[in-house]
Amino acid sequence: MTTVRTPPPPRLPVRDRAAGTSANGGVSPMLSRLADERATGVLIREHGTLYLADGQVVHAESPSTPGLDVLLAARGVLDAEAWREAVAAAGARRRVGRFLVDHGRIAEGALELCHLGALYDAAYFVLGPSGSPTRFRYGAAHWLGPVHPVPVAALERETVRRRELLHRIWPDPATDTAPLLRSGLPAGPSVPLRQEAVLGRVDGVRTAADVSVALGRPAFHTLVDLRRLAAAGLVGAVPAPQPPPLPGVLTQPSADPDVALLRRLRDALEAL
């Protein structure tokens, strides 16, 4: 995959394929190139950002999933006050993660587990199909600082594996993004508690991302649970509203649409 270079600004956008996989197996050719050149900075895509340090991914954020702060605040591990204190003390040095561990706010293992979970989770959405150009800002670093860097290749492999996992559970992606609706079938005792918690937040308005924030749970976990619930016939997506029919001659119903189309074509040609 080659990138066309132009003198900045403006830089030509690198548009990733909708299917998300390029010839070399990566999900983003630009990301692979940045890993090869051991770049440091932030990759900005339509559904979020990836922070790189020396070509490894150190942090990821996406509006589709709760961030580390939300996940850790949900059960009261770290409240907003603790985050504010840590960011004020160590944010400028980009060492907030280290500060939290050194000051006994959270165990190192717990921070690593939560951070890695959140990183892979956000990256799944960031590396999803994107309709807008990818940009990279060299030199930018996140205030959290490195906690447990992840190689780009591992992140890309995991992202592809996650897509396949969802597809295997239930092939319809509608529940990933649309507002969710219960089917009305009784849940029954076979629904595990974790899925029951998701089911309890489904109200015809919330999306998977909303449910994840409400539960303080990584969004990919919610996607998995929703696909299982959809496979069990308990949850579906609210159907998108049908666009109103266009007024006018062109949309007049006909018993045979092909005949109607040919007649209109003939009329138009004769009128020339």
Partner 1 sequence: MPGIDECLLEAMTLPGARGAAVVDWTSGLALGTVGDAPGGDHETTAAEAAELARLAAEHSAFAPSDGSDWSEQETPVEDLIISNRDSYHLLRFVRTTFDSSVFLHLWLARSDGNLALARIRLGEMAGRLVLG
Regarding 215 and contact with partner 1 (CB under 8 A), the answer is yes
> Is residue 116 a contact point for partner 1 (CB under 8 A)?
yes
For the bound state, the minimum distance from the C-beta of residue 124 to partner 1, rounded and expressed in Å, comes to 9
Cβ closer to partner 1: 34 or 118? 118
Tell whether residue 194 is a contact of partner 1 (CB under 8 A).
yes
Q: Could you tell me where the DSSP H helices lie in the chain? A: 29-36, 68-74, 80-90, 96-102, 108-126, 152-169, 174-177, 193-201, 208-215, 219-231, 257-270
By CB under 8 A, residue 69 contacts partner 1 = no
Site for partner 1 contains 71 (CB under 8 A): yes
Contact present, 12 and 135 (Cβ < 8 Å): no
Touching partner 1, residues 95-114 (CB under 8 A): 101, 104, 107-110, 112-114
- Least CB distance from residue 101 to partner 1, whole Å? 7
Find all residues with CB under 8 Å of 208, minimum gap 6, and list them. Answer: 175, 176, 177, 180, 219, 222, 223, 226
φ/ψ of residue 83, rounded to 5 = -65, -45
Tokens linked to 160: 């592809």
Is 120 an interacting residue with respect to partner 1 (CB under 8 A)? Answer: yes
Can you state the percent helix, strand and coil of the chain, rounding each to 5? 45, 10, 45
Residues contributing to the site for partner 1 (CB under 8 A): 71-72, 74-77, 101, 104, 107-110, 112-114, 116-117, 120, 148, 157-158, 161-162, 165, 189, 192-195, 215-218, 220-221, 224-225
